[in-house]
Chain A
Amino acid sequence: MLRTVSSVVVMFVYWVVLSGFFTPFLLAAGLASSIAVVWIVRRMGLVDPEGHPIHLAPRATLYWPWLAKEIVKSAWDVTKVILSPRLPIQPTLVRFRPSQHTEVGLVTHANSITLTPGTITIEASRDEFLVHALTTAGAEGVTGGDMDARVARFERGA
């Protein structure tokens, strides 16, 4: 129930931000639409810890800045590779087993790998991730387990 209420709140805030009008009619219309949408989505069974993972929000405030830092670092590395006249790449495929248990955790891990330039998740399943890395250093970064541990902590939530 709490999750339903928070879905409505998120939808409504999104409406207000995009509309930018604060007349009673439009605010009421926005609230009505938000409730209608959440009602339909609830019937579809999507208002669950996976569809609306609001319980992870406190943890995200710690994880996202770390991810942003990683993105900047690896983007800079890839930039140096691209601009280097020799184009020093060693494309590598690595497989490893992720330690997350929930779908949200696995998706977060897979997408974090893809988001950091230089590594792309090709296959992501509970048992194994297949990652393509631009350099061996990038591949070692992925299998090193730092991100894996952080996502596992993120997934457990607050």
Chain B
Amino acid sequence: MFAAATLAILVTLALAIIRAILGPTVFDRAQAGNTTGTMAVLLLAVIGFLNGRPEFLDLAIVYGLLNLVGTIAVLKFFRYGDLGDPGEAEPPPAATREDPVERRRASQASPLLGRVSGKPGGGHPLTVVLDIASWISLAGGGFFCVVGGIGLLRMPDFYTRMHAASVTETLGAGLILLGLMLQAGFTLVAVKLAIIGMLILFTSPAATNALAKAGMARGIEPLLGPREGASSKR
């Protein structure tokens, strides 16, 4: 079942990479890059279970942090043309305030990177019920990841694609992490998975908001729906 989840993640990765190549705007590519990053975090977590190496979870946490910083850096560069630019005078966009805290945590995490006492799967008498719940959760997570990837390709403009990506980043990632937690049982591994989930839930809206705002600031007009355009249907 880990193999199935891995496969779903790889398919989503491929779809995101196609979107990154197609573009057409730099913001589409940044969005695809962000989805790729989230998928990489999930892939690290699942591969850790696949190979019985929980150390991968620490890598996933660090990668999740780097992903947020990377996305913000790319956006800042394309908005101001300089990473050292102080930006605008107005208060920072929603929730970028979270990242000093997260970065602080990252610096605490690194000294003991890759040392976990818990072991996923092995050694825990898992009930059949838990196993089935975990399997359903992993399969569902994989399904929603791929759906988000398909949406990333099908949606007509940058803003609508962001909605598709958010399916991958919330329900897709959440269910896969839940599935893994059910496998881990009450161990440190489960706590780390929860931390990864929190990390994604706190950082992904910050990155999404920064992306949408940067797109607007660079004059990317959102395609508005038939009701807005035709205005006859009310």
Q: Chain A: residues with CB nearer than 8 A to chain B? A: 11, 14-15, 17-21, 26, 33-34, 37, 41, 46, 50-51, 71-72, 75-76, 78-79, 82-83, 87, 89-93, 103, 106-107, 110-111, 114-124, 132, 134-136
Contacts and interface: CB of A to CB of B under 8 A. Distances in A.
A110 B225 CA distance: 23
Interface residues of B, number: 58
Interface string B191-225: 11001000001101110110011001000001111
A48 to B, nearest CB: 11
Contacts of B151: 78, 82
Interface stretch (B4-12, B22-30, B166-174): B166-174
Contact of B216 (A72, A115, A122): A122
A106 B1 CA distance: 41
Would you list the 5 A-B pairs with minimal beta carbon distance, nearest first? A90-B225, A114-B205, A75-B171, A82-B151, A110-B94
Interface in B15-35: none
Contact of A122 (B144, B192, B209): B209
11 contacts: A17-B188, A18-B58, A19-B112, A33-B108, A41-B104, A51-B97, A82-B151, A82-B164, A87-B155, A119-B163, A136-B225
Contact of A91 (B148, B167, B225): B225
A115 B204 contact: yes
A91 B191 contact: no
Contact of B160 (A51, A93, A134): A134
Contact of A117 (B117, B166, B192, B212): B166
B41 to A, nearest CB: 16
Contacts of A14: 105, 108, 195
Contacts of B14: none
A41 B95 CA distance: 18
Contacts of A72: 171
B227 A136 contact: yes
B144 to A, nearest CB: 7
